[in-house]
Amino acid sequence: MSAIKGLAFDLDGVIADSATLHFAAWERLADELGIPFTAEDNEALKGVDRINSLRHILKLGQRDLPVDEIERLAARKNGFYVDAISTLTADALLPGAAALLDEAATRGLRIGLASASRNAPALLERLGVADAFEFIADPSDHLPKPAPDLFLACARAFDLPPQAMIGFEDAPAGIEAIRAAGFRAIGIGETPLPRADVQFATLADIDLAALLA
């Protein structure tokens, strides 16, 4: 077994409490479209890119729209979200995130971000942890989760084999992406993630030394 030398994190729901902002933005857009949208519906969007998330909502409302209208609505949702993240501070970091990133850096681990959010760089800046990430995979250049592309991009950037990487996710699609990449899969959050190798409620519950052993 290869020694673990790199970590790749999802952002929303793992590093930061920004998943609620996504829900609020989608809920606002769905309301404009006259489509009922609940927190339960939102669970299916975790780890899914913007366009496919919108397609899911349109399917809930049995709506079929042309591609240009879908792109316009996706951009509108993004506007709602960008407005919301402009108010975020380090207080939005989830428990244990800052400490785990610090410890990983101290141990010499490579740290990457494998997020479906195109707003990830701006969000990391707002949270005050941008410098912790050596590499941020660009979702516009890769297939969305559950494809493994975003996680594999981190491994390639670090010139590491998948077996030397651990991925952290809070959504089923993300866990599938990690497994498809050949990483060890760590689930985060209260939602059961049976495909994860191990699951913790928050990053604060992780003993990094034990995880690397």
Domain ranges of the chain: 6-17+90-212, 19-85
With 0-12 / 13-18 / 19 or more C-beta atoms within 10 angstroms meaning exposed / middle / buried, residue 45 is: buried
Residue 140: pLDDT band by 50, 70, 90 thresholds?
A: confident
Looking at domain 19-85, what is its CATH homologous superfamily?
A: Putative phosphatase; domain 2 (1.10.150.240)
- Read off the pTM: 0.84
pLDDT of the residue at 1? 57
pLDDT of the residue at 46? 80
Catalytic residue check, 10? yes
Q: Average pLDDT in the 188-211 region?
A: 97
Residue 26: pLDDT band by 50, 70, 90 thresholds?
A: very high
| Domain range 6-17+90-212, its CATH number among 3.30.70.250, 3.40.50.1000, 3.40.50.300, 3.20.20.70 | 3.40.50.1000
Worst-scoring range by mean pLDDT, 11-20, 70-79, 169-178? Answer: 11-20
CA–CA separation, 119 and 33 (whole Å)? 24
